[in-house]
Amino acid sequence: MEVTLDADTALEQLYAAHWRRLVRLAVLLLRDQGVAEEVVQDAFVAMHGRWSSLRDPDKAAAYLRQTVVNRSRSALRHRGVVERYVARQPAPGNAEAADGPSLVADRRTAVLDALRALPTRQREVLALRYYLELSEIEIADALGISRGSVKAHASRGSAALRALLTDHLDEGNL
């Protein structure tokens, strides 16, 4: 069935379907929500401009993912993002009350911190695999690397992440 959407309608539908998830993906990659939103906004604008060659919602979704990952990587190169984040980190050893919400917040912070500690490629592969639940082939396409590399980054990355997150995984409070 041939369905032809104009760029504006496609933009609205893709926005409704993917905006939130892509921003969350970008937060996993970048940590900074404001920058994440800007990166994803730019990706949607770029997708709209290329709609005449994409013309298919699935292809457009793949293009969006790829653009978000690429632009997140460029944003990280602007060291400001990392530095601003580091400057705002609370001092270590700040003993919060050990109640539920703060344990949850701790766990979330720990996951984002651990991701940030990984090499960029590993972080990207893991976010696409565990958050977007993409297959190896889809990840390879999105990142422009071979399936073998995806496998290698995934296994090294998840081993490193497991090591960093042992405490939070052993609590069994998920």
- Residues of this chain that interact with other proteins (CB under 8 A) are 7-8, 11-12, 15-16, 19-20, 23-25, 27-28, 31-34, 36-37, 40-41, 44-45, 48-49, 84-85, 88-90, 104-105, 107-109, 111-112, 115, 126-127, 130-131, 133, 158, 161-162, 165, 168-169, 174
Nearer of residues 2 and 55 to other proteins, judged by Cβ: 55
Query: Cα–Cα distance between 7 and 119 in angstroms, integer?
Result: 36
Which pair of tokens denotes residue 159? 């081993």
User: Of 145, 13, 7, whose CA–CA distance to 66 is shortest?
Assistant: 145
Nearer of residues 41 and 66 to other proteins, judged by Cβ: 41
Nearer of residues 2 and 15 to other proteins, judged by Cβ: 15
Which pair of tokens denotes residue 106? 């701790």
CB of 130 to other proteins, least distance (A): 4
